[in-house]
């Protein structure tokens, strides 16, 4: 896993998820964050999602109320389609990012295996489905381009990794502790303490 060596040369841009999400990083490219726990209800548009600014996002996470703070869905008719389908994923968290990127696959430090592709109704762009290829980890990720602005990519993470990113492991071995702003380490730890 050469995630630290930027395996995506062309994505040498500001989005290095595996590295750390730090306020000091170049967030110019991160326009919006949609974050929500439990299901996007309608695919209306951002009105049904909660858009949090970068700063807010950070603040929420540091206060421990990851997502809960602002992800309040006014309409209560949200139904996780997934919950009804086989007894799959227990619907942990769902987080969606919208980033400005030419590549839709940004390296977040995890290894993803693509398992499907579908064209979406209201978008000319297809949607790709990925699964975390780590055994036992059934986190899913959905990647599609913004239907209005194809220069934006919407990445939706479904679930929480039950393991750490290879990059995080690496970081853990470093003299300086893991960057507290790293979303993955944060998520991993918050889940292990919360849902156990």
Cα dihedral across residues 120, 122, 126, 127: positive or negative: negative
- Segment contacting DNA by CB under 7 A, of 13-21, 49-57, 78-86, 188-196: 78-86
Q: If binding is defined by CB under 7 A, does position 75 make contact with DNA?
A: no
Q: Which is nearer to DNA, 18 or 21 (CB)?
A: 18
DSSP state of 47: G
How far apart are alpha carbons 3 and 11 in whole angstroms? Answer: 12
Q: Tell me if 133 contacts DNA by CB under 7 A.
A: yes
Per-residue contact string for residues 9-48; x = within reach of DNA by CB under 7 A: ----------------------------------x-----
Should residue 112 be labelled a site residue for DNA when binding is judged by CB under 7 A?
yes
Among 129, 157, 171, 184, binds DNA (CB under 7 A): 129
* Burial (CB count within 10 angstroms: exposed 0-12, middle 13-18, buried 19+), residue 9: exposed
Backbone angles phi, psi at 150, to 5 degrees: -70, 0
């Amino acid at each position: 896993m050469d995630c630290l060596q930027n395996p995506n040369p062309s994505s040498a841009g500001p989005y290095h998820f595996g590295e750390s999400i730090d306020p000091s990083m170049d967030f110019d490219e991160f326009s919006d964050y949609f974050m929500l726990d439990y299901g996007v209800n309608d695919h209306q548009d951002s009105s049904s999602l909660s858009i949090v600014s970068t700063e807010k996002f950070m603040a929420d996470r540091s206060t421990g109320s990851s997502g809960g703070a602002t992800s309040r869905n006014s309409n209560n008719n949200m139904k996780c389609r997934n919950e009804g389908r086989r007894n799959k994923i227990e619907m942990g968290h769902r987080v969606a990012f919208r980033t400005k990127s030419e590549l839709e696959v940004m390296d977040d430090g995890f290894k993803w295996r693509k398992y499907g592709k579908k064209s979406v109704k209201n978008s000319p762009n297809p949607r790709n489905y990925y699964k975390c290829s780590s055994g036992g980890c059934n986190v899913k990720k959905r990647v599609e381009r913004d239907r209005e602005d194809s220069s934006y990519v919407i990445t939706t993470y479904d679930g929480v990794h039950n393991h750490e990113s290879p990059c995080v492991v690496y970081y853990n071995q470093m003299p300086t502790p893991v960057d507290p702003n790293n979303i993955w380490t944060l998520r991993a730890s918050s889940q292990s303490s919360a849902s156990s």
